[in-house]
């Protein structure tokens, strides 16, 4: 209801101008409270794209998530947590420069038991709806990553069982050839990224 009201006001320029003037009269705390009610909720996600290009067919690391009934296979990652602080009080402590990359390294370590290097940002995807997990809008950062100790060591660890999921949220993980993605029940946003965005961003990885 409140988001509908906001969109209605924005579609009428004269009403929009008047509402802006009124908004300026509100005390800052009241304005902040109302903004929280009127603004859509967003979740910020971070995703690791680990592609081993040493094989004849490039392979990507996928994880099977235990909490999804559909789309249970997907790229590993997680959600960004708020940094410490009180949003109603001023602070002079800035967030780290690599706050998003640090969150991704932490998630992969905690869930998969793998230390990674974050190489580069591939894409930021604004996702309004996911059929597997309806809820807040998502802003997802896809990063190309590599294992801290190299792909060969990671494969050896997976084969021996020394490297295995560290969280009950993950059942198993494996390298999957990009040509065989169709054999997996992929999370919808990851499926779109791997089949549509990745070939465009990294033409050498075209399926």
pLDDT tens for each residue of 19-46: 767 766 878 777 666 666 665 677 889 9
Residue 207 has pLDDT above 60, yes or no: no
In this structure, are strands 42-52 and 137-147 parallel, antiparallel, or unpaired?
parallel
pLDDT tier at 96, thresholds 50, 70, 90:
low
Q: How many domains does the chain have?
A: 2
Helix (H) or strand (E) holding 116: strand 116-127
Q: Quick one: 48 and 99 in the same domain?
A: yes
pLDDT at 105: 95
Q: Quick one: 46 and 34 in the same domain?
A: no
The predicted-structure confidence for 136-167, as pLDDT tens digits, reads as follows 788 999 999 999 999 999 999 999 999 999 98
Reference 166, options 114, 112, 115, 116; nearest CA is 112
pLDDT at 4: 61
Sign (positive or negative) of CA dihedral 100, 192, 64, 136: positive
Range of the domain at 28: 2-38
The region that residue 173 occupies, defined by phi over 0 for left and psi between -120 and 50 for alpha, beta otherwise, is beta
Q: Quick one: 29 and 58 in the same domain?
A: no
- CA 186 centroid distance within chain: 15
Mean pLDDT to the nearest integer, 11-26: 73
Residue 175 has pLDDT above 60, yes or no: yes
Q: Quick one: 106 and 165 in the same domain?
A: yes
């Amino acid at each position: 209801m409140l988001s509908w009201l906001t969109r209605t006001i924005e579609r009428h320029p004269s009403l929009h101008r008047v509402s802006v003037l009124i908004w300026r009269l509100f005390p800052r705390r009241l304005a902040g409270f109302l903004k929280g009610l009127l603004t859509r909720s967003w979740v910020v996600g971070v995703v690791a794209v680990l592609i081993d290009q040493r094989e004849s067919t490039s392979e990507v690391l996928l994880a099977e998530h235990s909490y999804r009934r559909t789309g249970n296979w997907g790229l590993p990652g997680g959600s960004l947590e708020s940094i410490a602080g009180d949003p109603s009080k001023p602070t002079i402590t800035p967030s780290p420069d690599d706050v998003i990359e640090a969150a991704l390294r932490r998630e992969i370590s905690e869930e998969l038991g793998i230390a990674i290097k974050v190489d580069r940002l591939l894409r930021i995807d604004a996702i309004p709806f996911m059929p597997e997990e309806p809820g807040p809008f998502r802003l997802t950062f896809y990063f190309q990553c590599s294992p801290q100790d190299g792909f060969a060591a990671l494969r050896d660890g997976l084969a021996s069982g020394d490297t295995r999921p560290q969280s009950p949220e993950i059942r198993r993980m494996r390298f999957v050839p990009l040509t065989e993605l169709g054999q997996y029940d992929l999370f919808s946003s990851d499926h779109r990224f791997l089949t549509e965005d990745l070939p465009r961003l990294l033409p050498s990885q075209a399926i």
